[in-house]
A and B are shown apart, each in its own frame.
Chain A
Amino acid sequence: MSQQNKNEWPLWEVFIRSKAGLDHKHAGSLHAADAQMAIENARDVYTRRMEGVSIWVVESKHIRASDPGEAASLYEPATDKIYRHPTFYDLPDEVKYM
């Protein structure tokens, strides 16, 4: 269905840090001719109300994503290891702050 038009500006994914101390979080995507323009457009599109203090952009074609169809085999190894959670362990009530 998708016909990537050769004349179309490349697609970029935008990540925004909402304030110092927090991670950059995916905000959306946009088209821009280069990285600098992508940052400037991201400023206008995604931070009109002071939503960010830092912007990352990466061309969408460079993103590699896991396949949802393989989710079962990919995450299965974690499901039977409940001993990785602190709630797995029974402690006497007298033990506090552990």
Chain B
Amino acid sequence: MTVHSFQEHFDSLIDREIAIEPKDWMPDNYRKTLIRQISQHAHSEIIGMLPEGNWITRAPSLRRKAVLLAKVQDEAGHGLYLYSAAETLGISRDEMYDQLHTGKAKYSSIFNYPTLTWADIGAIGWLVDGAAIMNQVPLCRTSYGPYARAMVRVCKEESFHQRQGFEIMLTLSKGTEVQRKMAQDAFNRWWWPSLMMFGPPDAESPHTEQSVRWRIKRFTNDELRQKFVDVTTEQAKVLGLDMPDPEIKWNEERGHYDFGKINWDEFWNVVKGNGPCNKQRLEARNKAWNEGQWVRDAAMAYAAKKKNKAAEAA
């Protein structure tokens, strides 16, 4: 087959919604875009453990602690599913780690905000995981098979995360005045960064069209953001919390909630590395990686020793 016919075959698979698998021919850009998207997603899961890990030892009850531990362990699992999906495209795990540790690869900016109170754990589960689910559910039908399969697992597990967060928020908002204020404060701080999780407005998102064509992306950033605003505004009513945006208003004509202007300068500033915790997050990752080196080496040495012994005995 010529390159032209390879491309035609690929396009026809995409058009017929047939999954692309690792050994299939694919355009270089498709491969590159997927590696970037999947590895950034994996990095986000791994970095995402840090803000929540901050509260494991200080969870208010044994139940909350067990739940938070399970959730953080899930995030590690999600990172691992995604890293192995990316590896099927021909990048090694160490290469991806290196890109994360040197700051070359990005992860979701939301994790560069601090978790100041216990209510932040509730807000993260409710809002951040809620936004993540909205982004991720369509990816269960994405065109690249290993990515789609990883996302099916991730989405199944993610819904417990959002529920546990909402439950924390509900408990706090029905609690004492101090607890209610704590919940409101966390809501106020996490609301805008959660809206930014859907990425820049469609008009400024140059890759959207190509990604939609490739079925790597199934809805635009603005479509998903609007859906999130609509759903979350209703949920906030159940919590009895005030929307952090005074401009939130139901628009009868559009059938959606209107909302205020997002501070994109803040978003780009955090992306560029100037968020409250960018430095701290990368340092924590690098420390864990470097200090784990001897463990990885020892495990390899032990495996080699066992192999040699088995060979001698044979």
Chain A interface residues toward B at CB < 8 A: 1-5, 7-9, 11, 28-31, 33-34, 37, 44-45, 48-49, 65, 67-69
Contacts and interface: CB of A to CB of B under 8 A. Distances in A.
B90 A2 contact: yes
B303 A28 contact: no
B296 to A, nearest CB: 7
A5 B153 CA distance: 28
Contact of A7 (B85, B149, B153, B300): B300
B24 interface: yes
A3 B92 contact: yes
B150 to A, nearest CB: 7
A85 B296 CA distance: 54
A33 B73 contact: no
A11 B87 CA distance: 10
A33 B300 contact: yes
A65 B23 contact: yes
Interface stretch (B76-84, B177-185, B271-279, B280-288): B76-84
Given A28-B81, A68-B21, A69-B25, A48 B74 contact: yes
B81 A68 contact: no
Contacts of B157: 48-49
Interface of B: 1, 21, 23-25, 70, 73-74, 77, 80-81, 84-85, 87, 90-95, 149-150, 153, 157, 296-297, 299-300, 302-303, 306-307
A2 B91 contact: yes
A69 B73 contact: no
A45 B77 contact: yes
A22 to B, nearest CB: 18
Contacts of B80: 30, 45
A59 to B, nearest CB: 11
Contacts of A28: 81, 84-85, 149-150, 153
Given A45-B80, A48-B77, A68-B21, A9 B90 contact: no
A56 B76 CA distance: 22
Given A48-B74, A65-B23, A9 B296 contact: yes
Chain A CB within 10 Å, residue with most, of B70, B73, B80, B299: B80
A31 B300 contact: no
A30 B300 contact: no
A9 B157 CA distance: 27
Contacts of A8: 92-94
Contacts of A4: 92
Nearest to B98: A5
B5 to A, nearest CB: 11
Contacts of A3: 92, 94-95
Given A7-B94, A28-B81, A68 B24 contact: yes
Contact of B23 (A9, A31, A33, A68): A68
10 contacts: A4-B92, A5-B92, A5-B93, A8-B93, A8-B94, A30-B80, A45-B81, A48-B73, A68-B21, A68-B24
B300 A1 contact: no
B224 to A, nearest CB: 26
Contacts of B92: 2-5, 8
Contacts of A9: 296, 299-300
Given A11-B87, A28-B81, A28-B150, A67 B23 contact: yes
B146 to A, nearest CB: 8
Contact of B91 (A1, A31, A33, A68): A1
A97 B73 CA distance: 53
